[in-house]
Structure 1
């Protein structure tokens, strides 16, 4: 008799609500060069100013649309959880990835804070494991939550003293 398939529950916690602002700013940063280039084109090419202005308008609409939609979509998907047995994450917006990293495989736990994350009081926790899939990233956490997560993971990993290879 075959057993029913195991269904993995969604991780329990979301990133910080400020993650949406972080992701919106990151999206907008990617639009700066194209929008500036189109604005310069519209300013210097009087023969094709209409086409340039239309292109600029389309770029601005797309920039605003992606800066609104992508962060909301990502926030609805991103989840994370740390238990005594494993670190669980689900990330993505267009392509989604779920990861489970057993505590016994944890090698290091780090935090990173880029300029936008520092400005918003956020941090990313990186859990490096003995896995060919690479590190598990828990992004856009409030700094105190990230610090508590690192401390908790360190304590849990110390209780599971394996060789993590």
Structure 2
């Protein structure tokens, strides 16, 4: 006896957002993943450097770590690129994200409290950024990483304009 999705106003209905993130986001995600995998690779190489008594196990460990790193560097950015989506309308902000567990979120414009942009060092290097939309939701902010810097700036401006026209306290 719950509310049917068709009974909800259009801005409250979950749906697949229309836009993919920038293609360059894959490169940013690969660089970030590579920086993460430096530690396990370095650990095995350090083990090999300081302990020459277990060479067969060391080579096996190095092989496993390198294969896992290579798969992660190839698969994860491509998967994230295909899954991560976003859309902003006059009524709501829609996001889709995830890796194994995927999530779609809708933030009605009337619930938006703040709109932020973030440009980390790797993102800046590739001309990308992250849009963060904070609402009164216990689920936390909606984040869209891997957007072109100009797109982030335009979305911040557009959402600021749209939300300033909505009366109420966004709670």
Q: The TM-score by the shorter chain falls in which range? A: over 0.9
CA positional deviation for 1:3:
9.2
Q: Residue 93 of structure 1 aligns with which residue?
A: 99
Q: Which moved more, 1:38-47 or 1:146-155?
A: 38-47
- Structure 2: tracts of 5 or more residues without a match: 7-12
RMSD of the TM alignment (CA)?
A: 1.7
CA positional deviation for 1:85:
0.4
CA positional deviation for 1:22:
1.3
Which of the residues 143, 147, 159 maps onto 2:149? 143
Q: Is 2:135 the counterpart of 1:129?
A: yes
For 1:35, what is the secondary structure of its paired residue?
A: helix
For 2:19, what is the secondary structure of its paired residue?
A: coil
What whole-Å deviation, never above 9, does each CA across 1:46-100 have from its counterpart, x for those lacking one?
Answer: 2111211121111011101101101111111111000010000000111111110
TM-score by length of 1: 0.93
Separation in 2, partners of 1:158, 1:99: 22
Q: Residue 85 of structure 2 aligns with which residue?
A: 79
For 1:154, what is the secondary structure of its paired residue?
A: helix
Q: Which moved more, 1:50-59 or 1:97-106?
A: 50-59
What whole-Å deviation, never above 9, does each CA across 1:18-67 have from its counterpart, x for those lacking one?
Answer: 11111112222221111001011112222111211121111011101101
Matches within 5 A, 1:20-99: 20-99=26-105
Separation in 2, partners of 1:97, 1:28: 25
CA positional deviation for 1:5:
4.5
- Whether the aligned pair in 2 keeps the contact of 1:39 and 1:53 (CA below 8 Å) is no
- Whether the aligned pair in 2 keeps the contact of 1:43 and 1:49 (CA below 8 Å) is no
- Structure 1: tracts of 5 or more residues without a match: none
Which of the residues 143, 154, 163 maps onto 1:157? 163
Q: Residue 20 of structure 2 aligns with which residue?
A: 14
For 2:170, what is the secondary structure of its paired residue?
A: coil
48 and 4 in structure 1: CA distance in 2 versus 1, 3 angstrom threshold: same
For 1:28, what is the secondary structure of its paired residue?
A: helix
TM-score by length of 2: 0.90
